[in-house]
Structure formats: structure tokens, C-alpha cells
């Protein structure tokens, strides 16, 4: 319960080839509610955990692959256990596991 991940998937960088930032700092994320934020504009996408930016992905990182994040899209909130994203499950892991979300807000700048 200490892993915070930000990732994008698009043409040529999907599945295991997604552009991902693993934040492996020791955060007690299971002990309380936290604020996660994504700032998304024409220049790129930035991910934050409790006000601290942990991933800054500019659109030039995808190189000659298509940048599809300049149009309306969707957000996925995921609790991953096991596999290539969730990692090894400890033998003493208690099930079921839960992801509690208090709210999700989406803001958009006002155009002039």
C-alpha cells in the first residue's frame, strides 16, 4: 500500500509499453484519505500526490508516436493487486482489498 503510479497509454505506447512513473517513496497511503491530482493541458500531463508533483510528462516524450491527449478523454482509478502493475502479493495479504474514493472533481479553465 505504498505505491503511487501515474501512466498514460496511447497508440504505440499501450499495455506494458505505457509511459509510466512509479513513485516508490514510502507513503502510508492506506492509513488515511489523500489528495491525488492530474493537471492536463496542451503541453503535457502532471501527476500530484498530496500536493507534491511526482510525474511530469510533456507531449514531446512520445516522440514520433501520436499524442492523443489533446481531446476529451477518460480517467481510470485502479486498485491493482498482483501482475506486472500490482507486483507480488505477500502471503499475509488480507482479502478483500478496497479502494475508497470520497470524490472526483474535474475542472476546466474558462476560455476567453
Segment 21-73, tens digit of pLDDT: 555 556 678 788 999 899 988 888 898 889 988 888 888 887 887 888 888 88
Closest-CA residue to 75 (of 32, 110, 104, 111) = 104
**Global pTM?**
0.76
**Phi, psi for residue 17 in degrees, rounded to 5:** -95, 15
Q: Outline where DSSP puts E strands in 1-112.
A: 4-8, 19-23, 36-41, 44-49, 52-58
C-alpha cell read off for 56: 511530469
Angstrom distances, CA of residue 27 to CA of 34, 46, 100? 10, 19, 17
Which has the higher per-residue pLDDT, 98 or 30? 98
pLDDT band for 89, please (50, 70, 90 cuts).
Answer: confident
Residue 21 buriedness (CB in 10 A; 0-12 / 13-18 / 19+): middle
Amino acid at each position: 500500500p505504498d505505491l503511487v503510479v501515474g501512466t498514460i497509454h496511447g497508440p504505440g505506447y499501450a499495455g506494458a509499453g505505457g509511459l509510466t512513473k512509479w513513485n516508490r517513496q514510502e507513503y502510508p497511503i492506506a492509513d488515511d484519505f489523500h489528495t491525488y491530482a492530474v493537471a492536463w493541458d496542451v503541453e503535457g500531463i502532471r501527476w500530484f500526490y498530496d500536493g507534491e508533483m511526482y510525474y511530469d510528462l510533456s507531449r514531446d516524450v512520445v516522440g514520433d508516436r501520436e499524442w492523443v491527449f489533446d481531446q476529451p478523454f477518460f480517467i481510470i482509478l485502479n486498485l491493482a493487486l498482483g501482475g506486472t502493475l500490482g507486483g507480488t502479493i505477500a502471503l499475509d495479504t488480507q482479502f478483500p482489498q478496497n479502494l475508497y474514493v470520497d470524490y472526483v472533481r474535474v475542472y476546466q479553465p474558462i476560455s476567453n
